[in-house]
Amino acid sequence: MPELPEVETTRAGIEPHVRGQRVRTVIVRQPQLRWPVSEALAEKLPGQTIRTVHRRAKYLLFEAETGHMCLHLGMSGRLRIVPADTPLATHDHVDIVLDNGWTVRFNDARRFGSIFWLDDAPEHFSLLAHLGPEPLGDTFDGAWLYTRSRGRRAPVKTFIMDSATVVGVGNIYACEALHAARIHPRRAAGRIGRKRYDALAAAIRQVLADAIVAGGTTLRDYIGVDGDTGYFQLRLAAYGKTGQPCPRGCGPIRREVIGQRSTFFCPVCQK
């Protein structure tokens, strides 16, 4: 599933092509995604100019003049910018056709993505209203994690993957950040001190920032707007490295299942 770095890479690739462009028409070939595509999308978006594209958590928000198109890539979704007459590929479900002859094309083989039209401000949308802070934003730091974690018995990995705690820390990046901060993923969130949470918050920021620069992580389905793959998988220290030496030279990486997710860590240096 595309995580925050992959979604941010998609946003950065799409935004320059659509900013200031008027929408000619919307073509919905397959409305049955995770939820039905909003009928209002084809009614209200044509004729409007796209002002910019924002990201909130793993949602892309295309800001128009009187509302937003809210898009989630799901497990296998991808966006491309193509000439409007480009032949269709299998699973090309939705086209946003622009006046300049280009099209934003949504492809989703598994159909777990979603597209909504929002008349109100995005922060009032039910799927966005209760999300935690952005990990690269000003309100996220060790103090936030420390305060939020008090009394929590859940493993710290589960805690930082909770979107009410902080958005966008998916399985790969949680494993990598905990390894960087030398924190065992099973340690109870409420038994970690402030200084260690400062280190973890810094690690989360650094890991996500590095992944964005690398264009995300391609392990299976993710392909960027330009058709290229992400390269952060070449820099992974723990994720998927079962039995391989820890980069710090202290022992082999171990795999365990925590919260129904494969978790990779070094049992020697992560405490």
More confident call, 233 vs 97? 97
Range list of H helices, the chain: 4-18, 39-44, 142-149, 156-161, 171-181, 194-213
The question of whether 3 is a catalytic residue gets the answer yes
Q: Is the pLDDT at 142 greater than 70, yes or no?
A: yes
* Adjacency order of strands within the sheet including 114-118: 52-56, 59-63, 68-72, 114-118
| Residue 91 marked ligand-binding | yes
Catalytic, 65? Answer: no
SS (H, E, C) the chain: CCCHHHHHHHHHHHHHHHCCEEEEEEEECCCECCCECCHHHHHHCCCCEECEEEEECCEEEEECCCCEEEEECCCCCEEEEEECCCCCCCCEEEEEEECCCEEEEEECCCCCCEEEEECCCHHHCCCCCCCCCCCCCCCCCHHHHHHHHCCCCCEHHHHHHCCCCCCCCCHHHHHHHHHHHCCCCCCEHHHCCHHHHHHHHHHHHHHHHHHHHCCCCCCCCCCCCCCCCCCHHHHCCCCCCECCECCCCCCEEEEEEECCEEEEECCCCCC
pLDDT at 220: 42
If pLDDT is split at 50, 70 and 90, which confidence band does 235 have? confident
**pLDDT tens digits for 163-186?**
999 999 999 999 999 999 999 999
- On the CB side of 211, how many CA atoms lie within 13 Å of its CA? 29
Q: Is 187 annotated as a binding residue?
A: no
Q: How many DSSP H helices and E strands does the chain contain?
A: 6, 11
**CATH 3.20.190.10 occupies which residues in the chain?**
4-124
Residue 221 predicted with pLDDT over 50: no
Q: 58 an active-site residue?
A: yes
pTM: 0.88
Q: Per the residue annotation, which of 34, 254, 255, 261 is the catalytic one?
A: 261
pLDDT for 93 equals: 97
Instruction: Dig out the tokens for 172 from the structure.
Output: 């790969």
Active site residue 261: yes
| 205 marked among binding-site residues | no
Residues spanned by CATH 1.10.8.50 within the chain? 142-265
Pick the CATH number of 4-124 from 2.70.98.10, 3.40.50.150, 3.20.190.10, 3.50.50.60: 3.20.190.10
Annotated catalytic residue, options 11, 58, 80, 196: 58
Percent with pLDDT over 90 in the chain: 83
The pLDDT score that the predictor gives to residue 22 is 98
pLDDT band at 217 (very low <50, low <70, confident <90, very high): low
Q: Tell me which fold the domain 142-265 belongs to.
A: Helicase, Ruva Protein; domain 3 (1.10.8)
